[in-house]
């Protein structure tokens, strides 16, 4: 039995290195690798890469316009990574097992119905953009870097989605709210929270899931794992592991450290649905 | 031999990112063009690959692979994901290689690292038909079922050949590391 599952794991590692795996297969491989930690899950991909590299002749430089775009993207990325003294950290663990893998189908089926059964209370308390309610004083230091990037995205994106978080009955949702912005064209987005409880990363972390109308609703896209390190307003950049074509729902769950491939959705404090 | 750039990228040094584009831009552009249907797709892929490199620079471990091989692995991951998302395979038209005459090449821009040579040598120990199947998979980016149709071979045989080829290359890449560990 052990040999058979190890053999199956190797077969799937080879498939992943050459033609990729769908979400179901990815989850299956992750389960197999947990049973066979002795298998080096990068070595087949490195072998395939070595073959590709051996036969590739880089005969053309990057086109100038493309290089400029890549350079601009790099500048943007490094600007976001600059350390700040601010409070909330974006902690993303793009673990290989979390990349593009999906869920055990049975566990996600009906998850939307289950979430709908929780009492959703749209707080709509975000006052900053109303004419009559001046912005609240932020209790905690603002994350300037992520917030500036968020503001820039809002200013520039022609296809911006902006949704308010709806709280569920999860204890973490009590008093929590905020919004999420997303641009499909740039594949960038930011979550803004207020009142989301500080988490101990050694015990649990928050994780974002993005549901794509053009994907299988059983297998949402992993939007990244993150922490809230101090109370107050926090802005967190979305780190989608796969391209999202048409988001329909954003969901924040609470997971074990490092996040998960399959969420049990036992802790699901916030949702933002595209109407 | 030029120093690796990814550790400097991981430390947040913007200048290192510029140097990375200069050193590996042509390689990534070549990979993207070969694995993409249209030039526009290749350009999108290049941007996504570089973004993946900025994000994964801290995962580079020089004891496991050379920088070009690691970068090629990251590029392939993005290209495979993009192709699966688009649910179509890249054509070979315009970039079709005559596998009969495909030989390992030395780039004018970067030095083909020892492990690329080891990979090529390992493939050379395979039977011609096996080698063809492995290259159709890794170099041409064809799916296993596409290869089966293309070479008129059972799918199971295709999978066996690819697995054998990758395992042989994997073993070839491991041997120098094991020898080095034994010497210490």
Token duo for residue B108: 């004018």
Q: Is the pLDDT of residue B6 over 90?
A: yes
User: What mean pLDDT do residues A202-231 have?
Assistant: 85
Which pLDDT value is given to residue A1? 53
Residue A61 pLDDT grade (very low, low, confident, very high; cuts 50, 70, 90) = confident
User: What mean pLDDT do residues B93-104 have?
Assistant: 47
Which pLDDT value is given to residue A48? 96
Per DSSP, the three-state class of A238 is coil
The count of CB pairs under 8 A between chains A and B is 195
- How many Cα atoms sit within 13 Å of A244 on the Cβ side? 27
Which pLDDT value is given to residue A134? 44
Q: Phi, psi at residue B168, to the nearest 5°?
A: -65, -45
Token duo for residue A12: 């799937």
Q: Which residue has the higher pLDDT, B94 or B155?
A: B155
Instruction: Flag if B116 and A54 touch (Cβ within 8 Å).
Output: yes
Task: Give chain B's end-to-end CA distance (angstroms, integer).
Answer: 23
∠ CA A94-A99-A102, rounded to 5°: 135
User: What residues of chain B lie within 8 A of the CB of A78, using their CB?
Assistant: 12, 14, 17, 54
Does the CB of B175 have a partner CB in chain A at under 8 Å? no
Q: Which residue has the higher pLDDT, B92 or A165?
A: A165
Which pLDDT value is given to residue A138? 40
User: What distance in Å separates residue B116's CA from the closest CA in chain A?
Assistant: 5
Q: Is the pLDDT of residue B98 over 60?
A: no
| Strand pairing category for A188-194 and A233-237 | antiparallel
Supply the ipTM of this predicted assembly: 0.87
Q: Give the tens place of pLDDT for each residue, A127-143.
A: 333 344 444 444 444 44
H-run or E-run covering B135: helix B128-138
Residue in B with minimal Cα distance to A69: B47
Among the ranges given (A99-103, A195-199, B42-46), the one the predictor scored with the smallest mean pLDDT: A99-103
Which pLDDT value is given to residue A222? 83
Q: Is the pLDDT of residue B67 over 70?
A: yes
Which pLDDT value is given to residue B39? 85
Which residues, in sequence order, are bridge partners of residue A207? A225, A253
Of B76, B84, B109, the CB nearest to A48: B76
User: What distance in Å separates residue A50's CA from the closest CA in chain B?
Assistant: 5
Q: Is the pLDDT of residue A59 over 80?
A: no
- How much is the mean pLDDT over chain A? 78
Q: Give the tens place of pLDDT for each residue, A217-267.
A: 767 888 989 999 888 889 999 988 777 888 999 999 999 888 887 687 889
A100 backbone φψ class: left, alpha, beta (φ>0; ψ -120 to 50): left
Radius of gyration of chain B (CA): 17
Q: Is the pLDDT of residue B55 over 80?
A: yes
Residues 139-168 of B with CB under 8 A from A: 139, 143-144, 159, 162-163, 165-167
Among the ranges given (A113-122, A142-151, A186-195, A215-224), the one the predictor scored with the smallest mean pLDDT: A113-122
State the Cα–Cα distance between residues A80 and A82, nearest whole angstrom.
6
User: What residues of chain A lie within 8 A of the CB of B81, using their CB?
Assistant: 20, 99-100, 242-243
State the Cα–Cα distance between residues A224 and B126, nearest whole angstrom.
42
Residues 79-118 of B with CB under 8 A from A: 80-85, 97, 102-105, 107-110, 112-113, 115-118
Write the CB contacts of B123 (distance below 8 Å, at least 6 apart in sequence): A51, A54, B131, B134, B135, B165, B168, B169
Instruction: Flag if B116 and A57 touch (Cβ within 8 Å).
Output: no
Instruction: Flag if B46 and A19 touch (Cβ within 8 Å).
Output: no
User: What distance in Å separates residue B100's CA from the closest CA in chain A?
Assistant: 13
Instruction: Flag if A51 and B54 touch (Cβ within 8 Å).
Output: no
Among the ranges given (A66-75, A98-107, A153-162, B81-90), the one the predictor scored with the smallest mean pLDDT: A98-107
State the Cα–Cα distance between residues B117 and A135, nearest whole angstrom.
62
- Burial string for A33-51 (b: 16+ CB within 10 Å, else e) reads beebeeeebbbbbbbbbbb
- How many Cα atoms sit within 13 Å of B180 on the Cβ side? 7
Q: Phi, psi at residue A138, to the nearest 5°?
A: -80, 125
Please choose, from the candidates A211, A8, A223, A24, the residue with its C-alpha nearest in 3D space to the C-alpha of residue A106: A24
Which pLDDT value is given to residue A243? 76
Instruction: Flag if B26 and A10 touch (Cβ within 8 Å).
Output: no
Which pLDDT value is given to residue A190? 94
Per DSSP, the three-state class of A274 is coil
Classify the C-alpha dihedral A50-A52-A58-A59 as positive or negative. positive
User: What mean pLDDT do residues A196-203 have?
Assistant: 90
**pTM of the model as a whole:** 0.57
State the Cα–Cα distance between residues B150 and A5, nearest whole angstrom.
30
Of B26, B97, B137, the CB nearest to A58: B26
User: What residues of chain A lie within 8 A of the CB of B159, using their CB?
Assistant: 11, 14-15
User: What distance in Å separates residue B151's CA from the closest CA in chain A?
Assistant: 17
Instruction: Flag if A77 and B173 touch (Cβ within 8 Å).
Output: no
Q: Is the pLDDT of residue B31 over 80?
A: yes
Residue A147 pLDDT grade (very low, low, confident, very high; cuts 50, 70, 90) = confident
Does the CB of B63 have a partner CB in chain A at under 8 Å? no
Could you give the percent of chain B with pLDDT greater than 70? 80
Which pLDDT value is given to residue A84? 60
Instruction: Flag if A45 and B70 touch (Cβ within 8 Å).
Output: no
Classify the C-alpha dihedral A60-A63-A67-A70 as positive or negative. negative
User: What mean pLDDT do residues B30-53 have?
Assistant: 91
Q: Give the tens place of pLDDT for each residue, A46-58.
A: 999 999 988 887 7
Which pLDDT value is given to residue A58? 79
């Amino acid at each position: 039995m052990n040999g058979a599952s190890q053999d199956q794991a190797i077969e799937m590692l080879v498939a992943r290195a050459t033609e990729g795996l769908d979400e179901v297969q990815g989850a299956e491989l992750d389960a197999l690798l947990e049973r066979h930690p002795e298998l080096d899950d990068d070595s087949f991909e490195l072998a395939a890469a070595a073959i590709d590299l051996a036969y590739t002749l880089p005969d053309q430089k990057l086109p100038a316009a493309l290089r400029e775009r890549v350079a601009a993207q790099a500048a943007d990325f490094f600007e976001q990574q600059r350390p700040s003294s601010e409070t909330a950290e974006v902690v993303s663990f793009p673990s290989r097992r979390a990349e593009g893998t999906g869920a055990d189908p049975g566990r996600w089926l009906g998850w939307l119905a289950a979430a709908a059964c929780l009492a959703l209370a749209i707080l709509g308390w975000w006052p900053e953009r109303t004419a009559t309610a001046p912005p609240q004083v932020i209790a905690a230091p603002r994350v300037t870097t992520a917030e500036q990037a968020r503001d820039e995205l809002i200013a520039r994106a022609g296809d911006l989605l902006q949704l308010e978080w709806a709280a569920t009955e999860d204890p973490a949702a009590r008093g929590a709210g905020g919004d999420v912005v997303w641009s499909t064209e740039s594949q960038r987005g930011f979550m803004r929270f207020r009142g989301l409880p500080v988490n101990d990363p050694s015990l649990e972390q928050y994780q974002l899931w993005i549901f794509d109308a053009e994907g299988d609703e059983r297998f949402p896209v992993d939007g990244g794992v993150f922490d809230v390190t101090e109370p107050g307003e926090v802005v967190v950049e979305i780190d989608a592991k796969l391209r999202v074509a048409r988001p329909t729902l954003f969901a924040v769950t609470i997971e074990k450290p490092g996040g998960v491939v399959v969420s049990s959705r036992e802790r699901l404090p916030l949702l933002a649905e595209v109407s | 031999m030029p120093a690796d750039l990814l550790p400097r990228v991981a430390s947040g040094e913007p200048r290192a990112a510029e140097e990375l584009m200069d050193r590996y831009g042509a390689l990534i552009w070549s990979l993207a063009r070969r694995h993409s249907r249209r030039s526009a797709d290749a350009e999108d892929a290049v941007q996504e690959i570089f973004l993946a490199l900025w994000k994964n620079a801290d995962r580079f471990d020089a004891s496991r692979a050379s920088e070009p091989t690691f970068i090629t692995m990251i590029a392939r991951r993005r290209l495979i994901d993009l192709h699966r998302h688009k649910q179509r395979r890249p054509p070979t038209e315009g970039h079709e290689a005559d596998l009969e005459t495909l030989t390992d090449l030395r780039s004018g821009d970067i030095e083909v690292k020892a492990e690329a040579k080891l990979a090529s040598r390992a493939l050379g120990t395979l039977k011609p038909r096996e080698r063809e199947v492995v290259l159709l998979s890794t170099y041409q980016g064809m799916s296993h079922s596409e290869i089966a149709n293309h070479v008129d071979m059972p799918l199971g045989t295709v999978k066996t050949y690819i697995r054998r080829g990758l395992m042989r290359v994997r073993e070839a890449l491991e041997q120098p590391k094991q020898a080095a560990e034994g010497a210490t």
